[in-house]
Each structure stands twice: as C-alpha cells, then as structure tokens.
Structure 1
Amino acid sequence: MSRRKLDLENLDDAATECQRLLQSGYERNGNWSLAQICNHMRMTIDSSIDGYPKWMAIGKPLRPLLRWLMLPKLLRGDSPAGIKTASTFVPAEDLSDAEEVALFTESVRRFRTHTGYLHPHPGFGKFDHASLEQFHACHAAHHLGFLAARE
C-alpha cells in the first residue's frame, strides 16, 4: 500500500481535503473509502467530546508508554499502517461519500466550537484542545493519505 504524505495543520484542513477528494474523485491505496475514513474520524472526534466506550479504559496503564513511543511518530506523520483499530471504530462498508463528508465536516465544526470537557484518549490520555486538534488532524492525514485525488 502506498500512502501520500499529507500535512494537515488543523481539522478545517482535513474537512477541506475531504471536500476536495469528494469533488475530484479518488483512487484508493488502502482498505477504506472516503466515506469509511470520514466515518472513522468522526467517531474518534465525537468520542473526544461525548466519551469513549468504558471498556477502552482497560489500556490506561499503557498510556505513558504509548504517549512516549507512538504519539511522536503519529504527530510527525510517521504513523504505521496496518494497525487494527477497535471494532467500535471500524466503519461499515456501505456508506455514502457525500453523506459522510458532510457528517465529518459537522463533527469538525462541533469540535472547533466545543469549550467543555474533553475526554482522555484511550491510548494517549489527556490533551488540551489545541493539542487534541493537532492529534486529530494528524490522524486524518494518516487515513486520507491512502486516497489519491483524480486530477
């Protein structure tokens, strides 16, 4: 699987990239469609606001190690491919690109305007709002890098 290097400064950039891919069409170089990627990213962003499933707290003892080993790699765009996500965050296959891009864009708006409590990430722990947005933008760049726009 080849993945393009994609640098997204923030979640607005991620939403713009999703709109661009929707408009141009795209080639898949990974397992998920644009709809599936948007759905997955939306679920993770919304969980930052609404809370993660309780069972995911089981990884809490590993947070310091994951934050030290894995988080810097993710933030510099060196996130490894092929790591399985929790089944809760695996998107269905029969999703609409246009619908999921719209829902993702709304999730980004909701996150950007949220001023309340942010739930700790199951693997990396607590973030302030700006750092969590950077994390989500890097997560989006990882997944969207598997799609190449048709020019």
Structure 2
Amino acid sequence: MQRRQLLKLGALGATAAALGAGFWALPLGPAPAGLSLQAARAVLAQLAGRALVSVKGWSPAEVFNHCAQSIDYSLDGYPELKPAWFRHSLGMAAFNLFAARGAMRHPLDQPIPGAAPLVEPAGQEQALQRLQGAFARFAAHSGALQPHFAYGVLSHEEYALAHVLHLYDHLSLIRPADQSA
C-alpha cells in the first residue's frame, strides 16, 4: 500500500473515531420542539414580535438570515461544495450522526462557504420573516434538491431534518431580551 493511501486511511479512521466520540457529546435533552418543519416554524412564530438577544456570536437577524440562506441553497444550489470524497464519507457520516442523535453541533459563527454576507435584511423581524418564507418555500417544494455543501445528496425528509437541527443548534444561543441576564 502506498504511503499516501495509508495516510488517508489513517485520517479517515481517526475522523470516524472522533465522530463516534462526538455522538456521545451531543446533548441528550429535548429539542426546543419536535423535529419537523411544522414544529420549527411554530418555534419561529413564537419569536415574532419579541426582543431577542444572542448570548454569543451573531445577532438574531444574522442567525435567521444564515438559516434562511441554508434553506434557499438546498433549493437553488450552494455557492461552494466540499470535495466529493468529503461529502460521500465524512460529511454524510456527520449528518447520519446528527440524525441518529436528533441534535446537531457545529461552529455557530461560520458562514456557509461562498455565501453572501448576513446583512440583508438587517432587521430582526424582517430576517425572521425571511426565514419563515424559506421554510414555507422548502415545505412546498416537490422537485429535486441540490446537494448539501458538506453532507452531499439528501432526500427531502433528510434535508428537512437537517434544516430543523441546524435552526435548533443556532437557537441555543438566542434568548428573549428580558431573560438574557
């Protein structure tokens, strides 16, 4: 076996072990709501008209814009994709881990590769409406979906779960302003 192949196999093995360990590091507590598009949209509806703050990282408007971007890209195509070998191995393994656990953990301050800045719309309510609109568009979509930049090809059901888990992970840092102290 060539050295390069051996190094790749070693890296894949180490990553698989880390993903396995990561499975147990994901939270066991309940999600903010059910793991469906309808439940996620209900959570967002409860946020409408409320003053929100972020305990760390992006503002609530930026979070809502980011999540809307992700949903839109699943329909229209991501600006950049990870290499095919990544999407077919590590990326899909990560998605399967999140799906099995019913929770996602990812860096909450990293933009989608190649995505536009998270500035439009700038207002929290408008960004929340944008996100609700993206969820509605996704729910109504019956055609083919674009490959996820990291997870690769997902079914509509898998993508729905990915979008809900993604939203819930980001919402873990958002609080009503009157509860932020």
- TM-score norm. by structure 1 comes to 0.81
Q: CA deviation at 1:127?
A: 1.1
Is contact 2:78–2:146 with CA below 8 Å preserved after alignment? yes
Counterparts in 2 of 1:106-117, with a 5 A limit? 106-117=133-144
Q: CA deviation at 1:41?
A: 0.7
Alignment correspondent of 2:161: 134
Q: CA deviation at 1:122?
A: 1.2
Q: Distance in 2 between matches of 1:83 and 1:31?
A: 6
1:123 lines up with 2:157 in the alignment:
no
1:62 lines up with 2:89 in the alignment:
no
Q: CA deviation at 1:148?
A: 1.6
1:71 lines up with 2:95 in the alignment:
yes
SS at structure 1 position matched to 2:105:
coil
Q: CA deviation at 1:18?
A: 2.5
Q: Which runs of 5+ in 2 are unaligned?
A: 1-28
Distance 1:111 1:90, change over 3 A: same
Q: Which has the larger radius of gyration?
A: 2
**Number of residue pairs matched?**
146
Q: CA deviation at 1:89?
A: 5.4
Q: CA deviation at 1:83?
A: 6.2
RMSD: 2.6
Q: Distance in 1 between matches of 2:159 and 2:121?
A: 29
Counterparts in 2 of 1:1-151, with a 5 A limit? 6-53=32-79, 56-63=80-87, 64-68=89-93, 70-75=94-99, 76-82=102-108, 84-85=110-111, 86-88=113-115, 90-92=117-119, 95-149=122-176, 150=178
Structure 1 residue ranges, 4+ long, deviating more than 4 angstroms after superposition: none
- TM-score norm. by structure 2 comes to 0.69
Deviation digits for residues 40-88 of structure 1 (CA, Å, limit 9, x no counterpart): 01111011111111xx2342221112221x2244333241445633251
Q: Sequence identity, in percent?
A: 21
Task: Between the two structures, name the one with larger relative contact order (CA 8 Å, sep ≥ 6).
Answer: 1
